[in-house]
Structure 1
Amino acid sequence: MARRTTSKVVAGAVALAAIGIGVVAAQPAGAVANGVQVNDGIFPFAVKFLMTDIPKPDGSKYDSACSGALIDRQWVITAGHCFHDVNRKPVSGPVPYKTKAIIGRVDDADTGKGAERSVVEVQQSPKNDVSIAKLDQPIDDIKPIPLREAGPRKDETLVLAGWGQETPDATGPAKHLRLGIVKVHDVQDVVANVTGYWPKPDTSACPTDSGAPYFEQQPDDSRLVSLESGGPTCPHAGPERTSRVDVIADWIHEKIGE
C-alpha cells in the first residue's frame, strides 16, 4: 500500500465527518474528550463493555466499563487492565466478574440494534496492555475489524472511537459512541503515543475509553492499529499511551484459532 501524507489522511477523515458518513454534527465535549458523536451504523465493530460486581480488597464491589473492538466472530479485544483480580493484577482464564459486551450499537437507547453477549474467557497479551476476550456466542452479522500488519508511523493520523465517560469524574460510561482523530507522536517497541488532532488539539481518551480502538480509516475499510491504554486526565494535549496490535498479531491469531 502506498504511503499517504498526513494532510491527505486528515483531509479524508474530516471529509467523512463533513458529509455525515462518520459523525453527527459537532457536539459538546464528552466521552472521547472534545470528540464528536458517531452516526448510526458506523464502526459496527466498536464494543462497549459493562462490568458488574468487581471485587475490592475490603470486600465491597463496584461496577465499571471499558471500550474495545470485535476482531473475530467470537472474540473481542480491549485493554489488558480491564480484566483483573482483587488487587488489580491482569488475569487470564475465566472472566473474573460478570461482563457484558455490546457490539454494533452507537447509542444506549437503540436497544433493538446490535448484539449483546456475555464474556466467558479472557487471555492477556504477553507483551503489552492488551487482552482478548471470548464471547459466549459468535456474531455472524457484524464484520470484525482486521488487524493491520504494519505498525503505527510517526505523524500518521488515526481514528479513535470509544465509550469514555462524559467527564473525568463521571460515574459511568458515555451513552453514545464518540470519535476523534489523533496523530502518532512517537512509536516504541510495544506502544505508540498519540496526541489530539481533530476536532481539537486536546481531543483525547477519557476514563472507560480503556481498550478503545485506534484505527486506520479508509472508504469502506478500517484496520486496527492500537488500543487505548492510559494517559493524563482528559481532555489534554499531551501524549496518550496506546498498545500496538501488530507486535502481538501472531499471538492473537494463535489464540482465536485463525
Structure 2
Amino acid sequence: MRLRALLAAVVLTITATPAALAAPGVAHGSDVPAGRFGFVAKLAMTKIPRPDGSTYGSYCTGALIAPAWILTTGHCFHDANRNRVSGKTPYPTTAALGLVDEATESGVARKVTEVVQAKESDVALIKLDTPVTTVQPLTVNHAVPTVGQQLTLAGWGSLTGTNPKPATRMQQGTVAVAKVDPTTLGVRGAAPEITTSACTYDSGAPYFTGTELVAVEATGPGCPHAGIETTSRADILAPWIAKTTS
C-alpha cells in the first residue's frame, strides 16, 4: 500500500520530487469552479528532515473543520525516521485556503503552529497561528457511512502519478463507498471516470457531502486507478475532534 504523503521523495502523497509535494489535482477529476470548497487547504512544508541530515519540501491537502484547525493525514507530520509526531510543528508549514486557482487568486494564508495526532487513525489536527474567519469550515459527520454512498473528493494532488508537479488548480471528483471497516472506508472512483482517484499530494484531502466531512484521504493504489482507496472515517474521530478543537 502507498503512503500518500510520505514527505520524502518516494511513496505517495508526500512523495515525489525532493522539493515539492502537491500537484495539479485529483487524478482523472475536473476543475473546481471558482468560489467553491474554500475549506480545502493546501499545506506546504519546508525543511523536512531526512535520516542523512538533509532536508526537502513537500505538500499535503487538508480541510478546515474549525476556524483555527485543519484536519489532514497524520503521516504528513513526522520525524526524520518517518515516525508521526505531535506537539510543535516539526518543520515550517503554511496553509492556503479560500482559493481554487493559484494563478488568479490569493486566498488566505496561515502558519501551522501545532500538530495533534489521532490514536484511532492515521489522522492529525493542525492548529493555525490565527483563526480563519472568511471561510466556512466543514462540519464533521457523526453517522456511519453506507456502501454505495457517493462522496465528493477535492484536493491539490497530482493529475498523474508520473513525474508529479506542484498543484496550481484544485480538482474534484465523485467516489462511491465500496466498504465500511471499523476505522476506515474503502472508496472507488465514480465520476467523471471510474479511475477518478486521489493522487500524489492528496494526502489528507477531504471526502464530503455538501458541507459535511465524511472521510479523509489515507492511502491507496498508484494513481490513477479503478481500485479501492483507503480513507479514514470522520464519524469515528468526531468526539476527538470536538474535544481537541474546543
TM over 0.5: yes
2:128 paired with 1:145: no
Aligned-pair distance for 1:171? Answer: 4.7
Which of 123, 127, 131 pairs up with 2:124? 131
What letter corresponds to residue 176 of structure 1 in structure 2? R
Aligned length: 223
Moved over 6 A (4+): none
**Cα drift, residue 174 of structure 1:** 1.5
Structure (1 or 2) with the greater helix fraction? 1
Give SS of 1:169's match.
coil
CA–CA distance in 2 between the matches of 1:130 and 1:195? Answer: 20
Q: Deviations over 1:59-103 (max 9, x none)?
A: 111111001110111001100111111111111000000101001
Corresponding residue to 1:56 among 50, 54, 59: 50
The residue number in structure 2 matching 1:246 is 235
Kindly indicate whether the alpha-carbon contact (under 8 Å) linking 1:117 and 1:135 is maintained by their aligned counterparts in 2: yes
Q: Which residue of 1 aligns with 2:38?
A: 44
Superposition TM-score, scaled by structure 2 size = 0.88
| Amino acid across the alignment from 1:251 | W
| Identity level (%) | 47
Structure 2 unmatched ranges of 5 or more? 1-23
1:65–1:106 CA distance, 2 compared to 1 (3 A): same
Supply the RMSD in Å over aligned alpha carbons: 1.0
Matches within 5 A, 1:1-258: 31-112=25-106, 114-217=107-210, 222-257=211-246
Q: Which amino acid aligns with 2:33?
A: N
Whole-angstrom distance in 2 between the partners of 1:143 and 1:89: 32
- Give me the whole-angstrom Cα distance separating, in 2, the residues matched to 1:140 and 1:31: 26
Could you say which residue in structure 1 is the equivalent of 2:17?
none
Conserved in 1, the CA contact under 8 Å of 2:164 and 2:200? no
Q: TM-score, normalised by structure 1?
A: 0.84
1:135 offset after TM fit, Å?
Answer: 0.2
Distance 1:141 1:229 in 2: 28
Distance of 1:171 and 1:62 partners within structure 2: 16
In 2: Cα distance, 1:52 partner to 1:125 partner: 23
Return the offset for 1:48.
Answer: 0.4
Cα deviation code 1:13-32 (max 9, x no counterpart): xxxxxxxxxxxxxxxxx621
1:148: how far off?
1.0
Using CA pairs below 8 Å that are at least 6 residues apart, which structure has the higher relative contact order? 2
Q: Secondary structure at the match of 1:208?
A: coil
Aligned-residue offset at 1:53: 1.1
Shift of 1:111: 4.2
